[in-house]
Amino acid sequence: MTAATIGLVIGWILTIFIGVLAVMILIKIFTGDIDLNYIISDENGWASLSRFQFLIFTFVVAMSLFYLILARTPPEYPAIPKEILALLGISGGSYVVSKGIQSSRDVSMTEADNPPEVKDPKVTNTPIVGDKAEVQSQSEKPKPNGPQPAP
Amino acid sequence: MSTLAIVLRYEVLFLLLALAALVGYRMLTQQINVTGLLMDKTSGRAISPGRVQMLMSSIGLAAYYLFLVLDTKDTSRLPDLPNELVVAFGASQGVYLLGKLYGRFATTLGLASPKVRERAKPKEGKTNQ
């Protein structure tokens, strides 16, 4: 068996593995077993603009890279211009600074006895532990940033 | 080898497009939580202008770049983005962050509106832990 044949066999095994994995992930997302409900939410349950922006850029850069890699024969990784790195850096830096400001605000509000509003988690069809009753009891736990009940 | 490359090409293309479509559809039907995406958390306003402009600039830039990629002739590198757009995007992020910083310190510096000051007051019946 030549090296080229071995390479081809390994290539097909990997391709089939990636394909099966992709289909399984998509099916699990579609049926709700992989829960995307809070994919862009922050720790208080509100949708986060920074995370949403990250999501958009992740898709755009991934699709662009993939498109250009496969546009060449043989496939080849394209060079990445510095403007794109700057764009991702600005986006990432903005996310970090934004989180810093928000954490600082949350801490000062909690210290002032006025903790930030926390949204109740929505019960989804993702089994966290065991059956539905246990999932329900998970959602009824005290809010992490909220006021604790007096003893 | 060429058959393998073609299969892999359509496989990954399918995965990326299906994932993007699924996430987009779930956002539009609110199966992905988008509550408060444009809300000003400090003042409680339903729409924050800083957030709206940042959302618009992000989506606009992302769409523009996708069109650049689809339109490019040189496939050896990702297409260059005009410097002006990068600066504009940085300014958009700066405006958003300054707005957030202002909201953070407005009450402390006495610049906040009466409504915001009211929200910042400790709620009645609470004691220090």
Residue A78 CA from chain centroid, whole number: 25
Put simply, whether the predicted model's pTM sits higher than 0.80 gets the answer: no
Q: Does A92 touch chain B (CB under 8 A)?
A: no
A57 near B CB under 8 A:
yes
What residues in B contact A25, CB-CB < 8 Å?
Answer: 15
Name every residue whose Cβ is closer than 8 Å to that of residue A42 and which is 6 or more positions away in sequence: A48, A51, A102
Q: Give the per-residue pLDDT at A125.
A: 52
Give the Cα-Cα-Cα angle A77, A83, A85 (nearest 5 degrees).
Answer: 65
Nearest to A81 among B75, B80, B128 (CB): B80
Q: Which of A8, A24, A27, A36 to mutate to test the interface with B (most CBs of B within 10 A)?
A: A36
Q: Looking at the structure, do residues B112 and B87 belong to the same domain, yes or no?
A: yes
> Is the CB of B20 less than 8 angstroms away from the CB of A63?
yes
Tell me, yes or no, whether B14 and B50 share the same domain.
no
Burial B25-51 (b: 16+ CB within 10 A, else e): ebbeeebbbbebbbbbbbeeeeebebb
Percent of chain B with pLDDT over 70: 82
Out of A46, A81, A109, whose CB is closest to B77?
A: A81
**Residue B126 resides in a domain:** no
Distance from CA of B115 to the nearest CA of A (A): 15
Cβ contact A87–B86 (<8 Å): yes
- Domain assignment present for residue B127? The answer is no
pLDDT digits (tens, 9 = 90+) for A76-132: 888 988 888 888 898 889 888 888 888 887 787 777 777 766 666 555 555 444 444
Sign of the CA dihedral B124, A141, B31, A115? positive
Contact between residue A34 and residue A28 where contact means Cβ atoms under 8 Å apart? yes
pLDDT above 80 for B118? no
Question: Are B12 and B52 in a shared domain?
Answer: no
Asked whether this complex has an ipTM greater than 0.85, the answer is no
Do B107 and B51 sit in the same domain of this protein?
A: yes
Based on the fold, state whether residues B87 and B115 are members of the same structural domain: yes
Q: How confident is the model at residue B116 (pLDDT cuts 50, 70, 90)?
A: low
Average pLDDT over chain B, rounded to an integer: 82
Asked if residue B25 and residue B48 are part of one domain, the reply reads no
Hey, is A47 helix, strand or coil? strand
How far apart (Å, rounded) are the C-alpha atoms in residues A138 and B3? 49
Which of helix, strand or coil describes residue A41? strand
What range does the domain containing B20 cover? 1-34
Candidate ranges A13-17, A68-72, B38-42; pick with highest mean pLDDT: A13-17
User: Residues B18, B48: one domain?
Assistant: no
Asked whether residue B76 is assigned to any structural domain, the reply reads yes
Instruction: Give the whole-angstrom CA distance, residue B45 versus residue A73.
Output: 53
Does residue B29 share a domain with residue B10?
Answer: yes
- For B105, the 3-state DSSP assignment is helix
Distance, CA of B12 to CA of A26 (rounded, Å): 12
Model confidence at B91, in pLDDT bands (50, 70, 90)? very high
Give yes or no: residues B42 and B24 share one domain: no
